Every structure is written in structure tokens, then in C-alpha cells.
Amino acid sequence: MLDDYDIQAERSTLGAIMAGGNRGYECLLPEHFSEPAHQKIFAAILKIQDRSDPVDVITVCAELKRAGEIDAQNLVYTIAEEVVIGTNAKVYAKQVIDAAAVREHARVIAKSGREIAKPGADASVCRNQLLDELIAIGQRAKGGGTETTKQMGARHIALLDKRRSGGMAGASTGFYDLDGLLGGLCGGTMNVIAARPAMGKTSAAFDIVRNFVREKKRCLVFSLEMPKAQCLDRLLAVEARINIQRIRTGMLRDAEWPKLSNAYDRAFNDYISINDRSGLSISEMRGLARQWAGNDEPGLIVIDYLQLATGDKGEGREREVASIATGAKDMSKELDCPVIAVAQLNRAVEARSPPKPMLRDLRESGGIEQDADTVTFIYREGYYDEKADQGTAEFMVSKNRHGPTGNVNVRWVGKWNTFQNLTKGA
């Protein structure tokens, strides 16, 4: 049942607008009003504004008369007698929007309760759907993310000042030449690292994670393929400069144990969080990422690898992968942090000579290319030709929504499973 206070707030809003209140209700929509007659009156107000005509009792009544809404027309006179001052339109409009959000919360929660009560319902799926809908309500109540350029201006001037002083728009990957192309990894972007198996996709992602950690930025890794222990083996091998195979087999030399101990704090810290649950859906990942982010600033999220996640079922695998990619992009925007989506390429790459990846190799993987802000392929000639240099690799930036594309040469250190800069950066 509606509160009389909410009804009065609606009438006061309409009255204030018709009395000359022309600012502060830009986020208001007809559906924010609970009473159908109030919705019709406000819809009429919007039509009048679209024509750039003045909004008052006379023009609103004329518009409602044209629409055949006689009951709403009669109500306008009653409302106009109740409210004769337009200065409080902004205050009243906020009350209407807040009340609409409360009603929408109640509706969504009730619907979720019905869904969870169904036989065979998946609790985690219902929970994450509920979270998605509740967050969407909150965003709509704040204007759906819409800001004036004046509201955005101060933040953007700070960004320009950062660029002028030599800083990048985003956070550094740790690879100087790659940063030169990408400008770092920015919040709200989905960055794909793709390659055939054994090229070093996960290694590259972990190298970037390690650089974020050096800058005291928090990272969340969804390791859908490797268990946590294997992830930690990789971190230790790089930080301690110990052959990863000896770490995996336990065949460590006496001199290596002190190196392992010294690397412990660099590899194991509060900045890296790992979730290794298999078959996570993109909705579950978004829910877990929200919990992880909390009230602290998130630095980076890694999905390893994208095609192992689950998405919308029922319309084929390509559509499912597309929904996963879209969810990853939405997660980056919602949390305002970059997402690295590791992606695996199919065997078609190896049918060409040389077997260098191209964007068309991703087009069979749903909407990954479409949703990605950047796509970087990894190619190691030494993997295919034992006579070639085994210690070099290429990062091939084949899509960059905000800058140039190009290839970057890096060093590959297989015994540590890591990539390094060929030259020292400034």
C-alpha cells in the first residue's frame, strides 16, 4: 500500500513544476510516479518541454485535453491550488525518485523470493540476479550514470594534468612498450589477452598482476583452469627466480630455499586474491567481484580464461560466449577497474604460415572482439621452430579502441614462466 506521504510528494512535484520550477527534476521519469494520473500529467509536461513551450496549468491542461485524458486534466487544477511556489521542485522530485526506488526494491525482492521457491532453483544464480537488479535500481535512482560535462570536468582536468606530467591515462602493465601503445590499463575497460595453448597467456596476465601489486593496487584473479596452488607456484617461481619445474616437483636445491623465503612476502600478500572455482558464471563473478571490491578501490580483475566461464544458455555456444564477454565489460564499468580476459584461440591459427594470430581468429568466439577495448595476441616463434630464438616473444596489439595498434617485442623466460622487457624503461 502506498504511503500518503509519497502521494503528496508526487502532487507537490507536479505543482511546483507547473508553478515555474524549471530545474532539479531532470532525472525524473513518468514511471517514477505511482499514480497513473500523475504519470499522465508528467508525460504531458515532458511533451510540452520537447516543444520548448512554457509549462504551466494552462499548457498542461491543453496537452491532456488533446490526449483525451479528462480525469488527469481535472486533477491538474486541484494540484495547482495546493502548490503555488516552484522553488522546491528539486526537493520534491528527489522524494518521488526515492519512493519509486523503494517500491522497485520491494518488487524485485518479492520476485526473487518466488524464483528461489521454485523446485530446482539455483540459489547462487538467484542471488546474483537479485544483486544485478538491485544495483541497476540504484543506478537509475542516481540518474543512470548520466552527468553533465561540468560535473565531469574536475576529474578530467586532473587526468589531463596527470598526462602532462608524464603519467599515463591508466595503470602500467609493467611492459614499457606495451604501455606506449595502450596508455596503461584504464578503469571501465575489458582487455583481452589471447593465444594458443602454451604461449604464455596466464604468465602475461600474472606479470601484469605483479606490477599492479608493486604499485599497491588490489587484484582479483578468477582462475577457472588452474587451482590456487599452481597459481602460487607461478608467483613464487618468478619472484624467487627459481625454475618452476623444481618448485612443482619439490626438487629444490639447498641454496634455493633462502631465495624462496625471501620471495615469500612479494608473492604472498593481501593485494592478490584468487578464486579457483570451476565453471563460475559471469553473474557469479560479478557478484564475487562486488564483495571483493567492498569500499576499497579495486585495481585489476583477471578472468583466466574467458571461455571456461558460463553465460546465458539456450542460444548456442557463440551466444553464450558473447554474453560472458558483455558481462566482463559491464563488470569493468560497474567497478571502474580494468578487466583482463584471457582467451584461448582454436587450431585454425596453426593452419597458416607463420601461425600468427589475427582478429578473425576471435570472431568465432562470440562477442569477445566486439566488447573488448583492447586485444593483444601472444606469439612465440620458438614454440613452433626449435631453431628460432627461444627467448623472445611478440605482444601483438591488434585492436585498441583508444589508440594505435602494433607489435611489441619482449623477452620470454620459460624456466620462470614470465615475460620481461627487452630494454629498461625510463
The answer to whether 329 touches 339, Cβ cutoff 8 Å, is yes
Handedness of CA 203, 209, 212, 214 (dihedral sign): negative
How do the pLDDT tens digits run along the chain, 426 residues long? 456 668 888 888 888 888 876 666 777 888 889 888 999 999 888 888 878 788 888 998 998 888 888 888 888 888 888 766 767 788 888 888 888 888 888 888 888 888 888 888 877 777 777 877 777 776 665 555 556 666 666 666 766 776 666 667 788 999 999 999 999 999 999 999 999 988 999 999 999 999 998 888 999 999 999 999 888 888 888 888 888 888 888 888 888 888 877 777 777 778 889 999 888 888 888 888 888 887 788 899 999 888 888 876 656 777 888 888 988 998 999 888 999 999 988 888 888 888 899 888 886 565 788 889 999 999 999 888 888 888 999 999 999 998 899 999 999 998 888 999 987 654
Buried b (16+ CB within 10 A) or exposed e, 186-200: bbbbbbbbbbbeebb
Alpha-carbon gap, residue 222 to 242, rounded angstroms: 25
Find the catalytic residue in 115, 133, 225, 364.
Answer: 225
Q: Which domains does the chain have, with CATH numbers?
A: 4-141 (1.10.860.10), 158-421 (3.40.50.300)
Alpha-carbon gap, residue 202 to 16, rounded angstroms: 59
Considering all CA atoms of the chain, what is the largest pairwise distance in Å, rounded to the nearest integer? 91
Q: Active site includes 104?
A: no
Q: What's the whole-model pTM score?
A: 0.69
Q: Left (φ > 0), alpha (ψ -120 to 50) or beta: where does 143 sit?
A: left
Quickly tell me which residue has 486534466 as its cell. 73
DSSP H or E run through 389: none
Alpha-carbon gap, residue 203 to 209, rounded angstroms: 10
What are the angstrom distances between the C-alpha of 316 and each of 125, 282, 319, 330, 399?
Answer: 20, 16, 6, 21, 26
Alpha-carbon gap, residue 254 to 273, rounded angstroms: 30
Q: Three-state SS across 46-96? A: HHHHHCCCCCCHHHHHHHHHHCCCHHHHHHHHHHHHHCCCCCCHHHHHHHH
Alpha-carbon gap, residue 35 to 22, rounded angstroms: 22
